[in-house]
Structure 1
Amino acid sequence: MTALRLPLILMLAGVLGLAGCSVHQPVSLYQLDSGSPVQPAQSTGMAVLLGPVTVADYLQRETLLQRQPDGSLQASTDGRWAGSLSSDIDQLLLRQVAGHLDSQRVVLAPATLGFSPDVQVLLTITRLDSGEKQPAILDAQWRLIDRRGQVRDNRIVHLQEQHAGTTAAQVQAQGVLLQRLAEQLSVALKPLANQPPIAEAPRKPAAAKPAAPAAEQDKQPKIPMAAPIRTDMEVFRF
């Protein structure tokens, strides 16, 4: 009886060991490809406030989603984002836009006290995903607000990039889409670099006090002027 139980115990141990290995299988972590942005040299270049950058709710998670042929999304089993995807997007766009504009004065919202931007970029990303057999797709919209608070440009963008199908290739393709978005955004920003300064409103002169009407002037008591009388002493009579 003991001899029969021993092979059974060994078989169960092997099955449990294999199950444990499958559960603890390492998962790859991914970050967006930032490309090779040019390091900006101008410290007095165009001042741009980048953001707020709004990312679709379904992207605000560590799970790397896969687009299926029927349009549905499924969590990837072999990879996830290494941290916050929203932060990755912010940093990629910041470096790309700063490089294209050659300006060290590109900052993420909210701006620090005293920073006065030439343009503010309001950006919304509504889609950024891909699948093993689906291309990487980016849908976004931006609005450019000048220093007077006027909307100078409003654009809806749809970009698409093919890839080799692996998870790594998909992540790389999504990074390429964001690089292309930053390039198009920079082209739209450059014409707004030479805005005329905002003129200060002229000060209104102080209003002159209106003269009293003639009727009121007649009512006011008149003080007689002193007239000297020549005597031994000079006396003034009022």
Structure 2
Amino acid sequence: MNVLRLPLIALLAGVLGLAGCSVHQPASLYQLDSGTPGQPKQAEGMAVVLGPVTVADYLQRETLLQRQEDGSLSAATDGRWAGSLSADIDQLLVRQLAWRLDSQRVVLAPAIASFSPDVQVLLTITRLDSGKDQPAVLDAQWRLIDRRGHVRDNRMVHLEKLHEGSTADQVKAQGELLQQLSEQLAVALKPLANQPPLVEPRKPESKPAPKKSADRPKIPMASPIRTDLEVFRF
């Protein structure tokens, strides 16, 4: 009887082991697709500081979230982000902007003290997600600050893109939305490339003309009067 039980126990253990292996299979890791940006050629192109880039709190995690039909979010079971999503967003935007502006002077904030930017981009991303049956959606807002500290542009952006439904397709669609964002941002930045210098050359001060004294009436000088009359005393 004991001899018959051993093969059965071994079989059950094998089945449970296989089930455990299938449950604990490692999830796939994903990164945003930055496209195929070219290498910028101008070493002295437009100087841009990108950032701070603020990303919504719910995106500050390695979990790949799925948007449901009712608007709720759930964690994906077949994949997660390979590292920091915020860092991926920063690097994607820097490479895209540098290529579209043809400038190697596009850097992330904070820039070194000696770097004098033509424009600083303040960017806030409030939404970047998708779902199996929901399109990829990107909501963002930017402000462009010129070298004098003036706000030159303030814009809110809403972008959507359909996909095939798989996790890989969703991640690709999200990356393409960020590429579209960088394209719109580059268009807004280009007119600010030719700003007047921060310190304008000082014009030589013109000397004021000497003031003319007001004409005063001339008073004749008194002159002594001589007389030849003699005075006689008696």
Q: TM-score range by the shorter chain?
A: 0.7 to 0.9
In the superposition, the TM-score normalised over structure 1's length comes to 0.82
Which residue matches 1:60? 60
Taking the TM superposition and a 5 Å limit, the aligned residue runs for 1:178-197 are: 178-197=178-197
Q: Which residue of 2 aligns with 1:138?
A: 138
Report whether the alignment pairs 1:105 with 2:105.
Answer: yes
Distance in 1 of aligned mates of 2:95 and 2:25: 35
Give deviations 1:164-204, integer Å, cap 9, x for gaps: 001000000000000000000000000000110123696xx
DSSP 3-state at the match of 1:197: coil
Aligned residues between the structures: 204
- Name 2:90's counterpart in structure 1: 90
Q: Which residue of 2 aligns with 1:12?
A: 12
Task: Find the aligned partners of 2:118 and 2:35 in 1 and give their Cα distance.
Answer: 26
> Pairwise mapping of residues 30-49 of structure 1 onto structure 2 (< 5 A)?
30-49=30-49
Superposition deviation, residue 6 in structure 1: 1.7
Q: Which residue of 2 aligns with 1:172?
A: 172
- Residue segments in structure 2 that go unaligned for 5+ positions in a row: 206-234
CA deviation vs aligned residue, 1:36-92 (integer Å, no higher than 9, x gap): 112100011100000010101111111111111111111111111111110100000
Structure 1: which 5+ residue stretches go unaligned?
A: 206-238
Aligned residue type for 1:37: P
Q: What is the distance in 1 between the residues matched to 2:12 and 2:46?
A: 68
* Letter in structure 2 aligned against 1:107: V
Q: Which residue of 2 aligns with 1:120?
A: 120
CA distance, structure 2, for counterparts of residue 201 and residue 5 of structure 1 = 98
Which residue identity does 1:23 align to in structure 2?
Answer: V
Q: What letter corresponds to residue 64 of structure 1 in structure 2?
A: L
C-alpha RMSD over aligned residues: 1.7
Counterparts of 1:31 and 1:93, CA distance in 2: 14
| Alpha-carbon distance in structure 2 between the residues aligned to 1:51 and 1:201 | 31
Among all aligned residue pairs of Structure 1 and Structure 2, give the percentage whose two residues are the same amino acid: 79
Bigger radius of gyration, 1 or 2? 2
> Which letter does structure 2 place at the counterpart of 1:166?
S
Aligned-partner SS, 1:157: strand
